[in-house]
Amino acid sequence: MQKDSGRLLLENAAGITLSQVGKRLFDILMSSLLIVCLSPLFIILSVLILFKSGRPVFFLQERVGKNDLPFTIFKFRSMNYSKHNPDRHAYDWKEGVPDHFTFKTAFDETVTPLGRVLRKYSLDELPQLFNVLFGDMSLVGPRPEIPEITTHYTTKQAQRLKVKPGITGYAQVNGRSEIDHGKKIELDLYYVENQSFRLDLRIIWLTMICVVIGKGSF
């Protein structure tokens, strides 16, 4: 009985390792392929941002990744810095992030007209393919939060940090910006507990549909 238990533990450990390696190889292959194929679009969007909004083209921000480790996320700039309020993310929550909290609103005066289009079709997220290639993110996983929010996480909410954050995720194909924080945590934890290559492929397929119709994004 003890020998059988030891064998099962080894098999489970090997399965987890193989799953993680497979996911990482898939991330490297797909992010590299997409960066090459979408390079003309990268150039076009960069020129449009320069022409319409000026510099900088890219928006860099600290986000929180797997195991609560910080990294710099890359995005196409969609905001007007002259209207940016540095205190807009100063929160004073005492008992975790409230379930009713929503990070984005339907109208944000800091977003440029071009930025609204980029956000509607998630084009501002494309530079995160480099985050995936570098290993900070995955193609699929919970969306990375800013540290001003994660520092207030309860033990339950922090469970979403057990896996790499993703460009898209289970919450993104079930409401995107339309859902509140409580629902997002529920969906993210479902993914953490049930992640698989098959689920990732389903999320990627549903993401393409959401992006094409521009549903649920501000």
pLDDT of 89 > 80? The answer is no
If residue 199 lies in a helix (H) or strand (E), which one and from where to where?
helix 197-213
Judged by phi (left if over 0) then psi (alpha if -120 to 50, else beta), residue 135 lies in left
pLDDT of 189 > 80? The answer is yes
Structure letter (DSSP) for residue 145: B
First vs last Cα of the chain: how many Å apart?
56
Average of per-residue pLDDT across 17-44: 94
DSSP-derived pairing of the beta strands 70-76 and 138-140: unpaired
Which range of 83-92, 105-114, 170-179, 197-206 scores highest in mean pLDDT? It is 197-206
The residues, any chain, with a CB within 8 Å of residue 57's CB and separated by 6 or more, are: 46, 49, 50, 76, 77
Predicted pLDDT at 100 = 86
Report the distance separating Cα 214 and Cα 216, nearest Å.
7
pLDDT of 74 > 90? The answer is yes
Average of per-residue pLDDT across 63-80: 95
3-state secondary structure 200-218: HHHHHHHHHHHHHHCCCCC
C-alpha dist (Å) from residue 66 to 19, 135, 141, 142: 16, 10, 10, 10
Q: Look at 83 and 192; give whichever has higher pLDDT.
A: 192
- The mean of the pLDDT values for the chain is 86
Q: How confident is the model at residue 16 (pLDDT cuts 50, 70, 90)?
A: low
Q: How confident is the model at residue 7 (pLDDT cuts 50, 70, 90)?
A: very low
In single-letter form, the type of residue at position 179 comes to I
Which phi and psi (to 5°) does residue 64 adopt?
-110, 130
Predicted pLDDT at 80 = 85
Average of per-residue pLDDT across 150-177: 92
